[in-house]
Each structure stands twice: as C-alpha cells, then as structure tokens.
Amino acid sequence: MANPRHESSSPPIDLRARAREIATRNGFIADFSPEVEAQVSGLPGSNGAGDLSDEIRDLRSMLWSSIDNRESRDLDQVEVCESLDGGRTRLRLGIADVDGLVPKGSPIDRRAAANTTSLYTGVETFPMLPEALSTGRTSLLEAAERPAVVVDLVIDDDGDVKEVSAYRALVVNHAKLTYEAVGMWLTGGPKPEEFGALAGLESQLRLQDHLASRLRLRRQDRGALDLETIEARPVTSASGQVVDIAVIRKNRARDLIEDFMIAANVAMAEFLEARRVPSIRRVVRAPKRWPRLVQLAKQYDGSLPNDPSPAALSAFLQKRRKADPDSFADLSLSVVKLLGPGEYCVERPWEPDGEEGHFGLAVEDYSHTTAPNRRYADLVMQRLVKATVAGAPPPYSADELDAIAARCTAMENAARTVERAMRKVVAATLLQPRVGEKFDAIVTGVNQGGTFARLLHPPAEGRIVRGEHGLDVGDRVHVKLVEVDVAKGYIDFARA
C-alpha cells in the first residue's frame, strides 16, 4: 500500500524558492538587512599598496596561486612554497584578511555571527558575508592586491613542522587554478594553460605537490584517516531543470589544498595555545559507534581493537584502499557516517585538561582558520591571531568564545540538515520518472527516524520503508524505488 505522505508525481517546483524556504525554516537569515547594506556601501576605498606599513609586509612579488573549483569566487587562501637547505621547505599560506573590512560587533559581523557559515544548497547559495565582500573585496581574486594573514611554516623532509609564525602581508594571487586541471596534470594529463603564461608556476606546483605528499604521509604515520569522500552536485539544463547528479571525487589537487589547510589549522591552534590565548577548536570525538566499525572491518576480513584507535582504523583503511580502490569511496562513506559530526569547543590553555582532539586527523590541537569568508569560527580565529601577533589582548573572553562555538556548532548542524534536504529534493526531481526501478545502494543511517540508504548511481539518498529490519550502516543492499514526493524531498525504497 502506498504511503499517503507521497504522490507518484508532482508538479514542477521552483528549486531556488524551495531552498530559501528550507534554509529559513532551519534558522538561516536568507537576506541582508538595510543596516548591513549601508555598511557595505560605506566601506573605505580599495585595499592595496596604501595598506603597507611596518606591520604589513609586501609579498606581492611572490608566486602566490590558488586552487579551487572553477566557479568559486569566494577565495580564502593562496599558497607559495620555497625550498630551503637541509631538505626543508617553507610553506606560506595567505588567508584573506576579512577582519580588516568586517570589524567585530559591526552590522556585517553580527549578521555573520547569526548564520556562522555560507550555505551551499546546489541550486542557491546563501553567503555568510555580502557578496560584495566574499566574492569581491575580501576575496583573493586573481591579479588583485589584497591584505592577508600569512601562516608561515618551515617543514622538514619527514613532513614535521619545525617553525611556525604568523604575520600580516600584502599579496597578489597570480593564478587562479582549478582542482580539475591541476589534478589531471599531476596524474599525467595536460598542463594547465596558466603554466604557459607565468614563468616558474609549473615548478612551484611540483614543489607544492611534493610537500603535500610529505605532510600527508606524516599524518598517516600518526594515525590520520585517509578517506575517499565524494561530493554530489545537481546538473541543470538552461531552463533550470535537473538533468543529472554529478559526482565530484577527490584528486591530488584537492588533497594538496587539504594537506596545506590541515597543517595551517593545527599550527594556528598550537600557536595560540603556546601563548595562553583561548581559542575555538574543531573537535571530533572518539566514535560512539566504534563497535559497528569493528563489525564492518570483519566484513572486509579485517580487524580492529575493541577500544577506539585512529591508528588501527587508518591502517585498515589504507589496506582496503590498496585491495579495492574502486569501492573504497563506499567504505569511506560508511566510516564517515559512523564517526559522527564534529563540534566547536573552546580551549583554555591555562586549564590542565584541554579539549579532546580530532579523532579523524589523530591530532590533539585543531582549529578552523583558513576560510574566514565562509565560516565565522575562522573569522573569530583570525581576530585572535591578529591580536596575538600585534601584542594586543585577545578580542574575546573564553566565555564569549563558548557562546560563539555553541552557535557555530548549532548552525553547522542546521546547514547539514538544509543541504541534505535539498539534495533529496533535487534527487526526487531526477528520480520521479523512475519509480518501480531497482538500484544498488549502501545503508548510510539507522536511527529513530528510520533506515536510510544512498544509491550508488545516481547518488541519491532515501528511506527504506519495507524490509529494513536487520540492516546497519555500511551494508550493501538492493532496493526498489517505490515512492517519490518532489515537493517534500521524500524518496522511499523497498528492499528488493
């Protein structure tokens, strides 16, 4: 009998309007107030060479570049490497100085503190900051002079960070590269066209890739998890209709940027802790569902200890990647689901027992610092770093940071709810004509709300409403699509 909450067919819906509705229902402010718009209009002239002072270094001539999605314009980070003696490498990451145009307590800051994150629904983006800033004045756009907070790391040949410093500088992004082009080139494909236009860029990216590999291997030696995550994005026609769901997988270019971001985030957490400055930490606790991970490993002829161990889980995952690379993404999805989400907490360096670390990265100290255009925690951390570098008191008390961390965690959870709901709306739109068909799937969630599975292709997630008993996260299952409601984003399967 059909579930009465569904309809077998639904009229076309306005996906953007639906995204706005779901975002608003989950606590997001979709628009910017007149007060915010007035502050944007009243911002001072362009920030460039006029910002140079004794406290701001001129690093515009260095061969900075960025790697991001082709369509991205909210660019937070640029990178440059330099070979030193003794096999060491200096890595500089320039982070967009958002604080320079968004003072603490200003209307833009209060709006950013409310949403705490940019929201990406696939059909509509709700930016944390007005686009005049996030994709303009505070974005590290190609060829634009921009102030930045530079994280400066000296890394030895084993991938260990030996020196850490931070300072303000003026930078220029000399090349906006894309994950796709750089990733293809790093695995034997054609050179990105930017290499021919900028002398030294090719050798610079080779050096960055070599350094990223050393950082990654060192993390894995310490027990960090190397997971193969995928990103699903809707593909729409010129008329706005959903025609497919594209799967974006990690590649070496994405790994490179991730490796640099992790190094910077760990370094800045330790930088503030060493100076006894309270800060916001990104915490991923030992998984409550570790017994299920133990059981899952047995299904792959592996073994894990009874007590949570990132090193043991990392070794198991590395073995599985080598044994079956084609299906490793599906195993990774199960592990991610069982690890559970992270949260923001406050580190008080003067207390003897600090916050729990990041289980997935196998580090005790981890922060978010590299995306101040898109995450409020990163903007707050930037203010803490800038004040510390300047020898000024911290701009936030530990109690203030507690409230900010709690809000960031709540809104990040809300963002996942919105993004998941919109993925289902988009997927329902695509799957509506395919009711009755059978698909291969993997179980992604079992809770009070039901048992959920994601199809292998297209990567659409729905609820198993019949035959779900006995299933758990990570199980492979054959399902039949039985009901779809586009307006509500409901997708129902029966075990086939």
447-487 pLDDT, tens digit per residue, is 888 999 999 888 899 999 999 999 999 999 999 999 999 88
Q: What is the pLDDT of residue 1?
A: 39
Phi/psi at 347 (nearest 5 deg)? -95, 125
User: Strand 490-495 and strand 476-485: pairing?
Assistant: antiparallel
Contact assessment for residue 477 and residue 471, using Cβ atoms and an 8 Å cutoff: yes
DSSP lists the bridge partners of residue 466 as 494
CA 206 centroid distance within chain = 24
Q: What is the pLDDT of residue 346?
A: 96
Return the minimum-mean-pLDDT range out of 9-18, 25-34, 97-106, 419-428.
Answer: 9-18
| pLDDT at 182 exceeding the cut of 60 | yes
| pLDDT at 193 exceeding the cut of 50 | yes
435-445 pLDDT, tens digit per residue, is 999 999 999 99
| pLDDT at 8 exceeding the cut of 90 | no
Q: What is the pLDDT of residue 4?
A: 42
Identify the residue with better confidence: 249 or 384.
384
Phi/psi at 362 (nearest 5 deg)? 55, 45
pLDDT class of 239 with cuts at 50, 70, 90: low
pLDDT class of 46 with cuts at 50, 70, 90: low
Return the minimum-mean-pLDDT range out of 183-192, 351-360, 376-385.
Answer: 351-360
* Alpha-carbon distance values, 398 to 189, 205, 417 (Å): 49, 40, 29
DSSP lists the bridge partners of residue 150 as 94, 167
Which residue's structure tokens are 């909210």?
74
Is pTM beyond 0.85? Reply is yes
The per-residue pLDDT of the chain, averaged, comes to: 92
| pLDDT at 130 exceeding the cut of 80 | yes
Identify the residue with better confidence: 247 or 265.
265
User: What integer is the mean pLDDT of 398-409?
Assistant: 98
Domain boundaries, the chain: 31-284+343-396
**Spatial separation of the C-alpha atoms in residues 329 and 258, rounded to whole Å:** 17
Instruction: Tell me the three state secondary structure of residue 119.
Output: strand
Element (H, E) at 455: strand 450-455
Identify the residue with better confidence: 65 or 352.
65
Contact assessment for residue 153 and residue 267, using Cβ atoms and an 8 Å cutoff: yes
Q: Where are the beta strands (DSSP E) in 173-229?
A: 176-178
Contact assessment for residue 169 and residue 59, using Cβ atoms and an 8 Å cutoff: yes
Which residue's structure tokens are 């409403």?
465
69-109 pLDDT, tens digit per residue, is 999 999 999 999 999 999 999 999 999 999 999 999 999 99
* Alpha-carbon distance values, 151 to 104, 243, 316 (Å): 22, 42, 33
Q: What is the pLDDT of residue 122?
A: 86
Share of the chain above pLDDT 70, in %: 95
Q: Where are the alpha helices (DSSP H) in 53-137?
A: 107-115, 131-132
Q: What is the pLDDT of residue 384?
A: 98
Q: What is the pLDDT of residue 428?
A: 92
Here the tokens at position 445 are 């969630």
Cβ atoms within 10 A of the Cβ of 272, count?
Answer: 26
Contact assessment for residue 70 and residue 180, using Cβ atoms and an 8 Å cutoff: yes
Residue positions counted in the chain: 496
| pLDDT at 3 exceeding the cut of 50 | no
Q: What is the pLDDT of residue 357?
A: 87
